Chain A
Amino acid sequence: MSTPHTWLVFWRTLAFALVVLGSLSLSTTTALAQADPEREISTAVPAVDADVWRQVKSGETGANYRDSRFDSNYNLINASGETWRQIRNRWVSPFGMIAIGAMLAMIVLFYLIVGRKHLDEPRSGRKLLRWTILERSLHWSVATLFIVLALSGLNLLYGKFVFRPLFGDAIWASMMSGTKVLHNYIGPVFGILLVIILAKFLVRNLPKKHDWAWFKQGGGLIGKGRHPDADFANAGEKVWYWLLATAGLAVVVSGFVLDFPNYGQDRDAMQWANIIHAIGALGLTAVALGHIYIGTLGTEGSLEGMATGYVDETWAKEHHNLWYEKAKDQAVDVNDPGQPSLGNEPTSPQRSS
Chain B
Amino acid sequence: MATMKFMCDAERCIECNGCVTACKNANEVEWGIQRRRVVTLNDGEPSEVSISVACMHCDDAPCIAVCPTETLYQRDDGIVLHDKDLCIGCGYCLYACPFGAPQFPTQSAFGERGKMDKCTFCAGGPAETKEEEYQKYGANRIAEGKLPLCAEMCSTKALLAGDAQTVADIFRQRVVQRGHKDGAWSGNPRADADNLAYDASRQG
Contact = CB atoms under 8 A, between A and B. Distances in A.
Contacts of B20: 68
Interface in A169-207: 169, 172-173, 176-177, 179-180, 184-185, 188
A262 B43 CA distance: 30
A180 B89 contact: yes
10 contacts: A49-B188, A65-B41, A68-B20, A82-B96, A84-B66, A85-B66, A157-B68, A160-B67, A260-B109, A262-B108
Interface in A40-99: 40-41, 44-50, 52, 56, 62, 64-70, 72, 74-79, 81-82, 84-85, 88-89
Contacts of B48: 45, 64
A151 to B, nearest CB: 14
B187 interface: yes
A67 B53 CA distance: 10
Contact of A81 (B41, B62, B69, B111): B62
Interface stretch (B134-142, B145-153, B161-169, B172-180): B172-180
A233 interface: no
A48 B186 contact: yes
Nearest to B47: A47
Interface stretch (B74-82, B97-105, B117-125): B97-105
Main SS of the interface on chain B? loop
Interface residues of B, number: 63
Contacts, number: 174
B68 A159 contact: yes
Interface of A: 34-37, 40-41, 44-50, 52, 56, 62, 64-70, 72, 74-79, 81-82, 84-85, 88-89, 156-157, 159-160, 164, 169, 172-173, 176-177, 179-180, 184-185, 188, 258-262, 264, 267, 270-271, 274
Given A35-B179, A65-B41, A76-B41, A176 B68 contact: yes
Nearest to A52: B41
A41 B44 CA distance: 19
A78 B100 contact: yes
B42 interface: yes
Contact of A66 (B43, B86, B189): B43
Contacts of B42: 62, 64-65
B131 to A, nearest CB: 21
A49 B47 CA distance: 10
B47 A78 contact: no
B107 interface: yes
Nearest to A34: B179
A247 to B, nearest CB: 22
B62 A85 contact: yes
B59 interface: no
Given A65-B43, A67-B39, A274-B95, 11 more contacts: A40-B179, A40-B186, A44-B180, A46-B187, A52-B49, A67-B38, A184-B110, A184-B111, A185-B110, A260-B110, A267-B94
Interface of B: 10-11, 15, 17, 20, 32, 34, 37-49, 51, 53, 62, 65-70, 85-86, 88-92, 94-100, 107-113, 177-181, 184-189, 191, 197
Nearest to A53: B185
Contacts of A74: 37, 100
A47 B187 contact: yes
B66 A89 contact: yes
A176 B91 CA distance: 14
A46 B186 contact: yes
Contacts of A35: 179
Contacts of A176: 68-69, 86, 88
B180 A37 contact: yes
Contact of A70 (B34, B88, B89): B34
B111 A180 contact: yes
A45 B99 contact: no
B11 A84 contact: no
A70 to B, nearest CB: 7
A37 B179 CA distance: 5
